[in-house]
Structure 1
């Protein structure tokens, strides 16, 4: 199977549960690609080198502030990658559909590493916010596959992620499967799903 992981920082020493899942799938003969926002290579588990996971990891173009730098860099990225998949990049800027994700250029930046990749059997997002990103990337056609989202607690216990009109509403509507790390997280996730 072809499996994509959507995560925030990778590799992250504290998230060995994600690393173990990735290496376990590789050991079973699956093709794994990792899409992350940023690396943390100061300290990392030995399996990162053993499994050559940096060769399997695709990072979003680096984000720099102030926002004017993001805009100018985004314009350059748009022009550079436009020939590869113009419709995906144009859809990533649809502010009517994706609001802040589009006008902040977050969706454009997130789409860049996925361009030209073959469809996946599974897209596995760790934490709800990356599941939401997976929904948006799929909707614009940047990535293809069945979406599984794993909730780990912080993503359902923080009002940042579920306030303001239901951050996870699209995720529960368009995601195929959901896993949780505890019964408490599961009950909390179910409350969001029913209220969305």
Structure 2
């Protein structure tokens, strides 16, 4: 398996599985390419001269395309991709982990520097904001791609509307390793504050300001509670100011990034998990993993009618749902859970079952392997498959 990434991740906290499977050692990064025409032309010529001795056929193919269509018919980053793809570029599966990665890989297939069945996943932004802004971005991909894997039914409807062949679409949900999340029997505190938790990047799409305002309302109504927020992002300073303005310094904590073990401990210590996701400039989530993780531990959750979240949470059965940006509704649902701790185990049990039956990564991995094999039915049975994953942040 080879991994190609268009960007480097500067976050210090690394998922344990990245280290376990030595994924960084398998990853190649496409460096930044000059955007200005003259600089790009110089860069492209330099790359072709540098690579000609050991990749002459590739360079000649690129020159042929340039002669036919002009230098700028090649997208800037395509030049770098052409020469970073290893010489053994015949893969069985080319799996682009986000929709926007499909078109450039299709370009590489057209040039002839890489081959394989093209599989593209859609996870949120790529099928909402990007598709709304550039309606034709996936036209060629939808015609020539072999398989499309939206993570939710809501995203499936999006790409269907954009012209994707329904026979090539299969919902493949994003899973979690349920074995890493032990069932926790959440019990009401004996005089201590109700502990509420949110985990996610501090960006508009996560809707955290609405949860902070709901906590402020609950405090004014006399409830004793604490609210921990795990994650970081560009809204941190704004949220810090909001916490001060609402006099919540002693009740709301911004904990920054935490590793997996620390997050599991915080989940165990919490009574309610809130994921107040909202649509931000057309951008919607698929289904946030943090909801699955909390539900896998039997923790009662509150989400929003947003993206694929209602596909995970059945309101009043496996969790609670509120409209986006509705502080009053969120306040009411939190108050309901605080006042009815007898509902915690019931909601948690149904949530636990929903995640373990439909979102277990081991089951989903087997399903993905079956989808790969189905695409390769014209291959010899004894040929060992190799895979390329194209991800933006390894």
Match of 2:134 among 155, 163, 167: 163
**1:185 aligned partner:** 155
With the length of structure 1 as denominator, give the TM-score of the two structures: 0.70
| Cα offset, 1:46, TM superposition | 2.8
The separation in 1 between residues aligned to 2:153 and 2:145, in whole angstroms, is 20
**2:51 aligned partner:** 81
Match of 2:3 among 27, 34, 39: 34
Within 5 A, what are the aligned runs for 1:1-196?
32-43=1-12, 44-64=14-34, 68-92=38-62, 94=65, 102=74, 104-159=75-130, 163=134, 166-193=136-163
Instruction: Return closer, same or farther for 1:160/1:148 CA change in 2, 3 Å cut-off.
Output: closer
| Cα offset, 1:173, TM superposition | 1.1
With the length of structure 2 as denominator, give the TM-score of the two structures: 0.37
User: Is the CA contact 1:161–1:167 (under 8 Å) kept in the aligned structure 2?
Assistant: no
User: Is the CA contact 1:89–1:108 (under 8 Å) kept in the aligned structure 2?
Assistant: no
Larger Rg: 2
Structure 2 spans left out of the alignment, 5+ residues: 166-394
Number of residue pairs matched by the alignment: 162
The separation in 2 between residues aligned to 1:138 and 1:131, in whole angstroms, is 11
2:119 alignment partner, SS class: strand
**1:27 aligned partner:** none
2:91 alignment partner, SS class: coil
The separation in 2 between residues aligned to 1:66 and 1:99, in whole angstroms, is 13
**1:20 aligned partner:** none
| Cα offset, 1:97, TM superposition | 6.1
2:148 alignment partner, SS class: strand
Deviations 1:164-192 (A, max 9, x none): 6x221110111111100111100110111
| Cα offset, 1:162, TM superposition | 6.2
Instruction: Return closer, same or farther for 1:100/1:72 CA change in 2, 3 Å cut-off.
Output: closer
Question: RMSD value over aligned CA atoms?
Answer: 2.8
